[in-house]
Amino acid sequence: MAESPSSSDDVTTPEDSVELARPSTLLSATTLHLVTPLTIQAGLRLIGVKWDVTTDVTSGRGLYCWVHGATPGDALTSGVLYIGIAEGMGGLRKRTVYEESGRGGEHAHGLALERTQARVVMGGVDTAVAVDLEWVDDLIANGLLSPNARAHMNAWRKNRPTKEVEEVAIRLAIHLGDTGAPVNSFHAGAWRNDRPADWVAFAIARELTRRHGGG
């Protein structure tokens, strides 16, 4: 059994804890390499999905991303923080204006927008673009992809609503970046859960890396 403290000097009080936890020690500045909107656009094009991403606000339906805005520069080459879709009335304009209204509030999404000075990019999605998936067979032949991937790619191409495009985009962010889009949780889940979208996203990540390098 431990002995009782011999003096008050050995006792840590709540006041002492507050003093130790100065604001400068609560957070750590960290550099993360995140996927960009242009990378997502290029990746989706490999599977026959055209995303007309722009910094303009549009009323159509489609895919949107919030990107880090604290560093001046092109929003299309900034790190993606959140990926979403808008399919209801009012489309992308209504959805992103609604999310903007929560900036700086107590919801996690609004806090993230405020603290990262986030900006939004968006665009319509066309899933009917003809595509040659020979690159998948090349990855398989070179041992960079499991042979099972081809069946998943073929199946995904036959059924591709916008919500499945969103799922692939989120998982592409996971497979290419140091981490996924930080504010996303929907569709993220465990990495190796054998979902079709995960096979598709992993294949895209391998091909983009092969073509353009991992830097």
In a domain, 28, yes or no: no
Question: Is it the case that residue 111 has pLDDT exceeding 50?
Answer: yes
State yes or no: pLDDT of 85 exceeds 70: yes
- Asked if residue 7 has pLDDT above 50, the reply is no
Identify the pLDDT of residue 96: 92
| pLDDT over 80 at 182, yes or no | yes
One-letter amino acid of 125: V
pLDDT value, residue 14: 52
Asked if residue 144 belongs to a domain, the reply is: yes
Measured CA to CA, the distance from residue 115 to residue 140 in angstroms comes to 42
- The SS3 call for residue 174 is helix
Report whether pLDDT(20) > 60.
no
Q: Give how many domains the chain has, as a whole number.
A: 1
* Spatial CA neighbour of 55 closest among 36, 30, 35, 33: 36
Q: Could you report the per-residue pLDDT of 151-176, keeping only the tens digit for each? A: 989 888 887 889 999 999 999 999 99
Give the lowest-confidence range in 29-38, 43-52, 80-89, 155-164: 155-164
Report whether pLDDT(19) > 60: no
User: What's the confidence (pLDDT) of residue 37?
Assistant: 97
Structure confidence at residue 82 as a pLDDT band (50, 70, 90): very high
User: How far is residue 196's CA from residue 145's CA, in Å, rounded to a whole number?
Assistant: 14
pLDDT value of position 198: 84
Residue 2 pLDDT > 60:
no
Q: Which amino acid is at 76?
A: L
Place of tokens 């991303």: 65
Instruction: Report yes or no on 121 lying in a domain.
Output: yes
Q: Does 23 map to a domain?
A: no
Q: How many Cα atoms occupy the beta-carbon half-sphere of 196 within 13 Å?
A: 14
Give a yes or no: residue 199 inside a domain.
yes
pLDDT value at position 133?
93
Please tell me which residue, 22 or 188, carries the higher pLDDT value. Answer: 188
Report the mean per-residue pLDDT for the chain.
85
Q: Is 152 within the bounds of a domain?
A: yes
Let me know if residue 80 belongs to a domain.
Answer: yes
The answer as to whether 44 is a domain residue is yes
Structural domain range at position 112: 37-212
Taking the whole predicted model, whether its pTM rises above 0.85 is answered as no
Q: How many residues does the chain have?
A: 215
